Structure 1
Amino acid sequence: MNISLRRGERIFINGAVLRVDRKVCLELLNDVTFLLENHVMQAESATTPLKRLYFVIQAMLMSPNDCEAALQLCREMFVSLSSNALDPRIMEGLRAAVRHIEDKRMFDALKVVRGLFPIEEQLTTTAEAENAREVA
């Protein structure tokens, strides 16, 4: 797999953080767990339930040797989200993310959860609009 990075960009590979000082192309010759900097969510951006879940899964991906506490928190979040999620698209996405985590495919779990963000935003916007109408 080839990955192109720009000057100053970071990549997280198997828990290590690498920053390049010039434009570079990396060729990964074996199976590694990596995360590009533009997919890394900062703590202050984890403002919704699904974004908080993404942040926890991200922590497991970035620190694969030290993820027991994050895995336990992730399990608790799945239970909470599953009991509160009424949208079948979110439920199916959560089930897929759980399968990926069980298979230790954290990046695939992140992709699934990131794909649910627009649905969560749409549901939140709709709920806020309904609440505003009820108040008015």
Structure 2
Amino acid sequence: MKSSIRISLRNGERIFVNGAVLQVDRKVSLALLNDAIFLLESQVMQVEDATTPLRQLYFIVQMMLMNPAEMPRAIELCSKHLQALREASESAEILSGLRAVENLIVGGRYFESLKTIRGLFATERQILDSVREEPPIRAA
């Protein structure tokens, strides 16, 4: 028998479960007793925060969880975005992470893929910061 997942929510907090948005009006603890796809409000990225390639990937995968009705379109967009990231990246850590993300998504493990993507944000930030610091190349 699969163990339940216990979630504690504060007054006014939202949780996204299988595409439904639930908001509580008081502090509450929930037990999810079967398989459910969920995101806590604190894990939800707003569109204006999807400002880098990996954050955009996170947002796309997040939409898969939050709007299952649009899953086929989101999967297609995710596949294209993953391909573009693989072609643009030279970082072994990013490339390895993208392979893991793709395998998790293919396996239907979207929540775990979000966790993997979040784990790559610091590396992406370092790469983007180093690119900004490099002086432009001058022609001879």
TM-score by length of 2: 0.92
| Counterpart for residue 41 of structure 1 | 45
Alignment of 1:36-75 (within 5 A): 36-75=40-79
2:47 partner letter: A
Secondary structure of the 1:131 match is: coil
| Counterpart for residue 31 of structure 1 | 35
Q: Find the partner of 1:106 among 81, 106, 110.
A: 110
1:112 Cα deviation (Å)? 0.5
TM-score by length of 1: 0.95
Gaps of 5+ in 2: none
- The alignment status of 1:9 with 2:13, answered yes or no, reads yes
Q: Find the partner of 1:18 among 13, 18, 22.
A: 22
The C-alpha deviation readout for 1:13-72, integer Å capped at 9, x for no partner, is: 000000000000000101110000000000010000000000000000111232111111
Identical-residue share of aligned pairs (%): 49
| Counterpart for residue 130 of structure 1 | 134
Moved over 2 A (4+): none
What RMSD, in angstroms, separates the aligned Cα atoms of the two structures? 1.2
Matched residues in 1 for 2:101 and 2:19: separation?
Answer: 21
